[in-house]
Amino acid sequence: MARQSTAWSRMSARQRRVVGVALGLAVCGVVLALAVDPAFGAMVISAASLVAILAVVFTPPA
């Protein structure tokens, strides 16, 4: 757990915002998967995880 907290603290504020938005999008995907269509919810969750990964890897630190 300590290793994850240090990774979070090394992220820039912009990266943290993007990851926060991606987590919100993932929650929306879970709701869509449960309420509307599991396949559509899974697509939204996949997009959210891609956004989070790409934000951490490719966003330069500010």
pLDDT tens for 6-41 read 667 777 788 888 888 888 888 999 999 999 999 999
Put simply, whether the predicted model's pTM sits higher than 0.85 gets the answer no
- Comparing 5 with 22, the larger pLDDT belongs to 22
Contact 31, 6 (CB under 8 A): no
User: N- to C-terminal Cα distance for the chain?
Assistant: 25
pLDDT (0 to 100) of residue 34: 92
pLDDT (0 to 100) of residue 1: 54
Residue 49's nearest CA partner among 27, 31, 23 is 23
Return all residues near 15 (Cβ < 8 A) that are at least 6 apart.
55, 56, 59, 61
Compute and round to an integer the Cα radius of gyration of the chain. Answer: 13
